[in-house]
C-alpha cells in the first residue's frame, strides 16, 4: 500500500491545533527517559524537564532553526554523576556537567576551523547505515523490557503484555490506515488506547495525580567546581560526542538532509554543549539528542523544527504544572514499551534503507566485515571500561561500536591505498 501521508518539512509551521498535538507526541516520547535519569542520580525530575525544554530551545537557536532534534537527559553520564555525588556532593557533580558541555563547545570551535570534509572519510554509508541500525536495535531490549515481553510471565493474560500489545496495535493501525492529520498523530492514539487499557487492567495509579499540587517552582541547585569531580565526569563527553554524531547522521538519514553540512556539525555540537552546560548551571542532568524523538519523526514524516520547539515549550510548562507532570508519570511503562517497539524498529529500518539506497556492495569483504563488527558490538551490548584520572568511564555499546567502525574503516582505507601504491610501483618497474 502506498502511503499518501504528507511530509511536513523542517521549516514548515503546522496550524495551531495540529501544532500542539504534534508537539505533545514528542513530549510523551521523551518523558519517561528524561525523568528516569534524575530519579537514578538524585537530581530533580522537574528541573530535568525544565533543562530539557530550555536546552532544546538553545539547540534550535544554535542550529539556526534547521535541525529538528529534541534534547533529553543523557544516560551515558549516570554512573559518573552518581560516583561524583557520593564522593563530592550534587553541586560538584553539576560542575562536572558544565565542564562536559564546554568540551562540546571546544570541539565545535575546532570543527568550525577544519571543516566537515573528514566526515565522509570517517563515516562512509556502510558505517553510517550500520550505526543507525545499532541505535535502533540497541534500544530494542529496553522497549521489550518495558513491554514485559522478556519475563517468565510473558503471556496475553499478563496485564503489562496485553497493554503493550494493544498500544502497539493501535499505533500501527493509526499510522497505516488513518488519513490526513489523524495519520500523523498515531503515537497519541496508541498512548490513549494504552492508557485506557491500563485503567481497565489496573496498571494506572490515579493517586499519583490526586496527590500532586497544581503548580510548583522547580528546585534549582547551583553548581560547585571540584577538580576530581570534573575529572570523573567531563571525559565522558569524548564518548557521547560519538553518540551525537551518530544521532545527527541518523536524523539526516530520516529527514533526507545532511545536517553535518548545513547548518554544520559544529553548530549541532555547540547546541548540545551549551544545553548541557546550562543544565549543570541550574541543577539538571546533561542533555543529548534523543532517538525516541527521531523515531517519532520517522513514523510520522513530520520534521518541523516548530514541532520540536513546541515540545520544548510544553516541557518547560510541565516542569511547573504539577498535575500534568503527575498525569504523564502515571502512564504505565508497558504503554511506552508498546510505543517504543515501533519507534526503535523504525530507526533500525532507516539504517537498512540507507544501506540499500547507497548501493553498499556486500560482496566487498571490507564492507561485510565492517558491518559485522559494528552490528555485533552494538546490538550485542558490548561495553568498554576506560580508566581516567582515577575514575572508571564506561564506553556505551553504541559509542564502542561507532569508534570500532571508524578505526576499521580507516585501516581498510589505509590498506587499500598501500595495495594501490604497490600495484602502481610494480607497473612502473615492469
How much is the average pLDDT of 403-418? 83
pLDDT tens profile 219-275: 899 999 988 888 878 877 876 787 788 788 888 888 888 898 889 999 999 999 999
Rounded to an integer, the average pLDDT of 271-297 is 90
Decide if 240 is inside a domain.
yes
| 65 CB-contact burial (10 Å; exposed 0-12 / middle 13-18 / buried 19+) | middle
Least confident of 12-26, 255-269, 390-404: 390-404
Residue 74 lies in a domain: yes
Q: Name which residue leads in pLDDT, 385 or 90.
A: 90
Enclosing domain of residue 227: 16-362
Task: Give the pLDDT confidence score for residue 2 in this predicted structure.
Answer: 47
- pLDDT exceeds 70 at position 346: yes
- 186 inside domain: yes
Exposed e or buried b per residue across 184-203, where buried means at least 16 C-beta atoms within 10 angstroms of its C-beta: bbbbbbbbebbbebbeebeb
Given a cut of 50, whether residue 106 has pLDDT beyond it is yes
Cα 27 to chain centroid distance, Å, stands at: 13
Q: Give the pLDDT confidence score for residue 304 in this predicted structure.
A: 93
Q: Confirm if 245 and 268 have CB atoms less than 8 A apart.
A: no
Would you state the cell numbers that stand for residue 147, as one nine-digit string? Answer: 513491554
- pLDDT higher than 60, residue 428: no
* Residues 6 or more apart in contact with residue 297 via CB below 8 angstroms: 68, 251, 254, 255, 303
DSSP states of 205-227: -THHHHTS-SB-----------H
Distances (CA, A) of 357 to 99, 126, 131, 349, 392: 40, 11, 16, 12, 40
CA distances in angstroms from 60 to 81, 286, 289, listed in the order given: 26, 17, 12
Q: What is the pLDDT of residues 109-126, one digit of tens each?
A: 999 998 877 777 777 888
Please tell me the distance from the alpha carbon of residue 60 to that of residue 275, in angstroms, as a whole number. 10
Provide mean pLDDT across the span 363-384: 89
Question: Of 261, 286, 266, 238, which is closest to residue 388 (Cα–Cα)?
Answer: 238
Number of domains into which the chain is organized: 1
Taking residues 381-405, report their average pLDDT: 71
Q: At what angle do helices 236-255 and 397-429 cross, to 10 degrees?
A: 80
Q: How confident is the model at residue 278 (pLDDT cuts 50, 70, 90)?
A: very high
- Mean pLDDT across the chain: 84
Answer whether residue 419 is part of any domain.
no
CA–CA gap between residue 92 and residue 150 (Å, rounded): 38
Q: Give the confidence band of 180 by pLDDT, cuts at 50, 70, 90.
A: low
pLDDT at 1 over 50: no
Q: Are 97 and 286 in contact (CB under 8 A)?
A: yes
Is position 139 within any domain?
Answer: yes
**Residue 22, domain member (yes or no):** yes
Q: Does 422 fall in a domain?
A: no
Count CB-CB contacts under 10 A for residue 215: 8
Which grid cell sits at 407?
578505526
Whole-number percent of the chain with pLDDT over 70: 90
Residue 166 counted as domain residue: yes
Whether 5 contacts 184, CB under 8 Å: yes
Do 42 and 85 contact (CB within 8 A), yes or no? yes
Amino acid at each position: 500500500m502506498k502511503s499518501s501521508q504528507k511530509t511536513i518539512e523542517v521549516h514548515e509551521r503546522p496550524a495551531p491545533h495540529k501544532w500542539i498535538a504534534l508537539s505533545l507526541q514528542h513530549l510523551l516520547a521523551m518523558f519517561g527517559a528524561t525523568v528516569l535519569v534524575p530519579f537514578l542520580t538524585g537530581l530533580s525530575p522537574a528541573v530535568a524537564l525544565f533543562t530539557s525544554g530550555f536546552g532544546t530551545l538553545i539547540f534550535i537557536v544554535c542550529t539556526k532553526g534547521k535541525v529538528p532534534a529534541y534534547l533529553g537527559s543523557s544516560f551515558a553520564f549516570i554512573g559518573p554523576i552518581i560516583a561524583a555525588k557520593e564522593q563530592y556532593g550534587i553541586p560538584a557533580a553539576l560542575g562536572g556537567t558544565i565542564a562536559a558541555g564546554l568540551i562540546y563547545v571546544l570541539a565545535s570551535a575546532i570543527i568550525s576551523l577544519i571543516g566537515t570534509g573528514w566526515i565522509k572519510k570517517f563515516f562512509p554509508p556502510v558505517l553510517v547505515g550500520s550505526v543507525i541500525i545499532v541505535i535502533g536495535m540497541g534500544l530494542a531490549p529496553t522497549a521489550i523490557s518495558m513491554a514485559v515481553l522478556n519475563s517468565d510471565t510473558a503471556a496475553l493474560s499478563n496485564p503489562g503484555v496485553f497493554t503493550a500489545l494493544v498500544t502497539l496495535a493501535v499505533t500501527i493501525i493509526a499510522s497505516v490506515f488513518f488519513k490526513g492529520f489523524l495519520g500523523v498523530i498515531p503515537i497519541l492514539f496508541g498512548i490513549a488506547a494504552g492508557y485506557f487499557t491500563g485503567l481497565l487492567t489496573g496498571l494506572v495509579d490515579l493517586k499519583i495525580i490526586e496527590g500532586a499540587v497544581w503548580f510548583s517552582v522547580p528546585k534549582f541547585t547551583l553548581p560547585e567546581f571540584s577538580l576530581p569531580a570534573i575529572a570523573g565526569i567531563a571525559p565522558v563527553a569524548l564518548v557521547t560526542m560519538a553518540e551525537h554524531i551518530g544521532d545527527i547522521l541518523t536524523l539526516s538519514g530520516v529527514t533526507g538532509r545532511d545536517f553535518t553540512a548545513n547548518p554544520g556539525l559544529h553548530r549541532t555540537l555547540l547546541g548540545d554543549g551549551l544545553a548541557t552546560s546550562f543544565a549543570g548551571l541550574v541543577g539538571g542532568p546533561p542533555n543529548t539528542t534523543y532517538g525516541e524523538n527521531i523515531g517519532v519523526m520517522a513514523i510520522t514524516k513530520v520534521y518541523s523544527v516548530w514541532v520540536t520547539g513546541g515540545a520544548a515549550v510544553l516541557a518547560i510548562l510541565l516542569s511547573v504544572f504539577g498535575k500534568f507532570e503527575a498525569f504523564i508519570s502515571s502512564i504505565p511503562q508497558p504503554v511506552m514499551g508498546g510505543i517504543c517497539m515501533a519507534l526503535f524498529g523504525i530507526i533500525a529500518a532507516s539504517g537498512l534503507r540507507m544501506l540499500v539506497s547507497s548501493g553498499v556492495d556486500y560482496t566487498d569483504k571490507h564492507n561485510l566485515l565492517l558491518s559485522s563488527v559494528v552490528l555485533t558490538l552494538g546490538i550485542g551490548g558490548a561495553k568498554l571500561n576506560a580508566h581516567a584520572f582515577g575514575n572508571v568511564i564506561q564506553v556505551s555499546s553504541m559509542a564502542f561500536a561507532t569508534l570500532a567502525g571508524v578505526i576499521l574503516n580507516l585501516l581498510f582505507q589505509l590498506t587499500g591505498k598501500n595495495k594501490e601504491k604497490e600495484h602502481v610501483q610494480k607497473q612502473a618497474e615492469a
